Amino acid sequence: MKAAIAIATLTLIFAGLVGYHSLLTNYSQEIDMHADDAIIDNSTNANVHEVATQHLHLNLTLEFDRKVAYGTATHTMKALVDNLNHIDLDARYLNIGQVKSQEGKNLKFHYEEPNPNIGPKLVIEVSNKIKKDDIFNITIEYETTDKTLSLNWLDPEQTAGNTLPYVFTHCEAIDCRTLAPLQDTPSVKSTYSALIRSPRDIKVYMSAVNLGDRVEGNSRVTEFSLDVPIPSYLIALVAGDLEYKKLGRNTGVITEPVFMKACVDELSELQDSLDVAESFLTEYEWGMYTIVVLPPSFPFGGMENPLLTFASPTIIVGDKSQVNVASHEIAHSWTGNLVTNRNWENFWLNEGFTMWSERAIIRKQRGEEFYRVASALGNSSLYDDLNLYGYDSTFTSLHPNYAGANPYDTFSDVPYEKGFLFLTYIETLMGTENFEVFLRFYLEKYRRQSIVYSQFIDTFLEFLDDNFSEQERNKIVTKIDFHTWIFGTGPPPVQLNFSTPNLEISRELADAYLLGNGTPKNYDVFFGYFSLLKCIFLQRLVDRAEDATIPILEQIDKDYTLTTTIDPEQKYLWLQLCIMAGYDKAIPFADEFLGQVGRQKYLLPLYRALKDYDINLAIQIFNKHKLGYHPVAVVNVGRILGV
Ligand code: BES
Ligand code: ZN
């Protein structure tokens, strides 16, 4: 009943909005705002309408010689229907052994291959005497394979310490199915526990509470448990020559011993960031917060595994210029990990909200200018992606229509930056303080659930009804074209301005260099800039790469020594520009950089530029470095280069 009223209200609101339908140019016209409420998740094979995992227990051995993990996954499941007779799971690149019922009976199983993008369906037959609400266990014996996408096994030489092997997982979005057979969908949340056996020198950590470890012969046994229900993509494990160091009341860092000091120094404000987040969000529900700084092959800046964020070593720059990555992953503890997108079409609910919170944290910690420059730079990267896809592409919408594609294909800055702009626009209409009250209301309402965009909108309207006069409410609501924001492709319906005087000067400095008249008079302002302001300069040059001649690049490099900068954010922009402009001298430096980092934010644009520069050289460089890349990065760079 309540839903029906909400739908009716929305219909009225949308009907009242200035002919927004006519503004839309493509498929999104046909989509009703509540159309996908019933769809759970197109990226899973699991029969989530019929049965749901409530708890998962993993009992695994890490075998570094063969580079496999093997053991059992035990699901405690609840039937959602009567006469349940089969359980469909996601299981990809796994060798399945026996499947057993709670009574120890062997259960029959077979594979079906419905969609090559999401992997096969593992169908397990169960006695049809299972009734609705019955709770039962099944245990699956399995082993991972060398095709796995979720495990990155590293030889000692690929680590900082060079002495012991290393392994880490990455599951988001749909690769947990290559780590264990399960309902690999963010629409299902379950608690989990694990018992992990590793060689005795190898320490193991997971995205769960560490219950302690013991040595048994040549093995180390470590046990974990998490009693907050999470989606499968947040299951995570890391194992290697690892050390833990406390940073603050409930924060800490894990990394290899030789890298510890640099990490402790760089992350000295971590506790403050978490405290700031807690001050405007709700209570931090997870207990401890630890960052693992991984080896270079980690393909992302950060990943919000609960209690145990994973981070790229590229965030340890020496000047704290990338600690916003930590703030971002901290923010996911609420937006993403407590309130989760129900499927990957709603990914912006994870990332757009998290960008908003990340920037709210840095705004409170570092002030308005820093906040505005970060937002402006994000806005430029949004436009880069809009141009890359084309303004009509569904992937430029906050709710892409990708019909069974692998969600990886749709990841870009759009859910992050367009999502951020949408929420920031709403914030400007109601005021920051009110927006924060709303955010807490939303978090309280949906914590430990998985939701779609229409639940956000319904809750927003409910909040306005409860807290504003009808007149104030209408003033806000009529200014928000929800449909275009969420379904429209191309640029957002409203532009926001994050300009600051320094930002303008930085951009103008780039334009002045591009005139080709040598070094501009005020060139030394650059030396006083924080990293993001320097990136504004560089981003401007990249955006105008066709105007950058080789003498201009030589002059800039002479003035600012960018080719040898250690700041990876500046470096990847600079090298991208050099390659685009055909500045041959930079190629060996790009080659070197591509052999040092595995973070896709840097790899993908550089390989894209190299491909246009010289495809054979690009392939040659890729072949040289790809053993050091993560399996997912190998796939993505391979796609760019068509190999
Ligand atoms: N959850 C993402 C990383 C991710 C998304 C991995 C989708 C795989 C699939 C993480 O929170 C993230 O957004 N990381 C960013 C950090 C940045 C926005 C500060 C990154 O890695 O660059
Ligand atoms: Zn994120």
Q: pLDDT tens digit string along 128-180?
A: 789 999 999 999 999 999 999 999 999 999 999 999 999 999 999 999 999 99
Q: Whose CA is nearest to atom 3 of ligand 1?
A: 303
Same domain? For 267 and 306 the reply is: yes
With a 6 Å cutoff on the Cβ, whether 347 touches ligand 1 is: no
Check pLDDT > 50 for residue 15. no
Residue 329, ligand 1, Cβ within 6 A: yes
Question: d(Cα 432, Cα 360) in Å, to the nearest integer?
Answer: 10
Tell me the mean pLDDT in the region 619-636.
96
Domain boundary among 325, 344, 365: 325
pLDDT the model gives residue 35: 58
Rounded Cα gap, residues 392 and 402, in angstroms? 14
430 domain-assigned: no
Domain boundary among 293, 309, 325: 325
CA 564 – CA 248 distance, rounded (Å): 34
pLDDT > 70: percent of the chain: 94
- Is 362 touching ligand 1 by the criterion CB < 6 Å? no
Q: How many CA atoms lie within 13 A of 225 on its CB side?
A: 4
Q: Is 203 in the pocket of ligand 1 (CB under 6 A)?
A: no
- Find the domain containing 1 and state its range: 1-38
Ligand 2 center to residue 350 CA distance, Å?
A: 7
Give the predicted TM-score (pTM) of the model: 0.94
Q: Which atom of ligand 1 has the smallest separation from the CA of 355?
A: 18
Cα 525 to ligand 1 centre (Å): 32
Residue 93 counted as domain residue:
no
How many whole angstroms from 303 Cα to the centroid of ligand 2?
7
Pick from 39-43, 223-227, 376-380, 484-488: least confident? 39-43
- Report pLDDT digits (tens) over 337-364: 999 999 999 999 999 999 999 999 999 9
pLDDT at 533 over 70: yes
Same domain, 31 and 138: no
Task: For residue 115, name the pLDDT band (cuts at 50, 70, 90).
Answer: confident
Taking the CA of residue 327 as reference, the ligand 1 atom at the shortest distance is 19
Distance 328 CA to ligand 1 centre (A): 8
- Whether 271 is in a domain gets the answer yes
User: Looking at the structure, do residues 144 and 292 belong to the same domain, yes or no?
Assistant: yes
Closest Cα to atom 11 of ligand 1: 303
Of all atoms in ligand 1, which is nearest to the CA of residue 304? Answer: 11
Whether 222 and 280 share a structural domain: yes
**Which residues are CB-neighbours of 592 under 8 A, at least 6 positions away?**
none
Total number of domains in the chain = 3
> What pLDDT score was predicted for residue 331?
98
Give the end of a domain, one of 272, 300, 325.
Answer: 325
How far apart (Å, rounded) are the C-alpha atoms in residues 146 and 144? Answer: 7
Q: Of all protein residues, whose CA lies closest to atom 20 belonging to ligand 1?
A: 301
Are residues 230 and 277 located together in one domain of the fold?
A: yes
In eight-state DSSP terms, residue 109 is E
Q: Which residues crowd ion ligand 2, with CB under 5 Å? A: 351, 354
Measured between alpha carbons, how far is 171 from 151 in angstroms, rounded to an integer?
A: 9
Under a CB-based contact definition with an 8 Å cutoff, are residues 584 and 577 in contact?
A: no
Q: What does the pLDDT average to over 225-242?
A: 98
Mean pLDDT of 617-634: 97
Q: Which residues are annotated as a binding site for Zn(2+)?
A: 328, 332, 351
- Confidence check: pLDDT of 480 > 80: yes
Residue % of the chain over a pLDDT of 90:
91
Per-residue pLDDT for 252 more than 50? Answer: yes
The domain spanning residue 575 has which CATH number? 1.25.40.320
pLDDT band at 11 (very low <50, low <70, confident <90, very high): very low
Q: What is the mean pLDDT of residues 443-456?
A: 97
Same domain membership, residue 572 and residue 614: yes
pLDDT score of 21 more than 70: no
Residues 62 and 178 in one domain: yes
Whether residue 179 is found in the same domain as residue 153: yes
Which residues are known catalytic residues?
A: 329, 416
- Residue 421 maps to a domain: no
Q: Is residue 543 in a domain?
A: yes
Which CATH number covers residue 213? 2.60.40.1730
Q: Is the pLDDT of residue 569 over 70?
A: yes
Largest CA distance in the chain: 83
Which ligand is closest to the CA of 349, given by its number?
Answer: 2
The verdict on residue 297 lying in a domain is yes
Measured from the CB, is residue 171 less than 6 Å from ligand 1?
Answer: no
Q: Are residues 70 and 1 in the same domain?
A: no
- Tell me: cis bond preceding 510? Omega within 30 of 0 counts: no
| Residue 103 forms part of a structural domain | no
pLDDT for residue 402 is more than 80? no
In a domain, 440, yes or no: no
CB of 301 closer than 6 angstroms to any ligand 1 atom? yes
Q: Which two tokens stand for residue 441?
A: 């209301």
Is the pLDDT at 639 greater than 50? The verdict is: yes
pLDDT digits (tens, 9 = 90+) for 315-330: 999 999 999 999 999 9
Do 137 and 22 lie in one domain? The reply is no
Contact 372, 362 (CB under 8 A): no
Q: Say whether both 193 and 155 belong to one domain.
A: yes
Please, what is the Cα angle at 99 between 96 and 102, to 5 degrees? 150
pLDDT band with cut points at 50, 70 and 90 for residue 24:
very low
* Sequence-separated (6 or more) residues with CB below 8 Å from residue 480: 425, 426, 429
Tokens (6 digits) for 566: 């250690």
Task: For residues 240 and 299, state if they share a domain.
Answer: yes
